[in-house]
Amino acid sequence: MKIFFATLKVKAGKEADFERLQQELSKLTHESEPDTIVYDVVRAVDKPGVYAVYARFKDEAAFQYHQTTPFHDRLVPPIFECLDGGAAGMDLQFYEFVG
């Protein structure tokens, strides 16, 4: 299994755009990628503008497929534009499944 957690800091005033784009990415991922088990976006309760994405893929191939879908290529650049610092506004960490 391939798993990541991404913590993202969104520019003030860009939260609605970010949420709309991430919701579309999540919806399309769930609809189009049967080997993506989870792709969820959550908002921090006590830290304005801080979000996290949790994704779990069946394997490395499923992750690589996700990275190359047309909708990923279309949605990720404007998502990065919403981040404080662009792509540098994302802390991406990979994990292994235990269980």
pLDDT of residue 67: 95
pLDDT tens string 27-86: 999 999 999 999 999 999 999 999 999 999 999 999 999 999 999 999 999 999 999 999
DSSP string, the chain: -EEEEEEEEBPTT-HHHHHHHHHHHHHHHHHH-TTEEEEEEEE-SSSTTEEEEEEEESSHHHHHHHHT-HHHHHHHHHHHHHBTTGGGGEEEEEE----
pTM: 0.92
> Taking CA 66 as the corner, what is the angle to CA 97 and CA 29, rounded to the nearest 5 degrees?
90
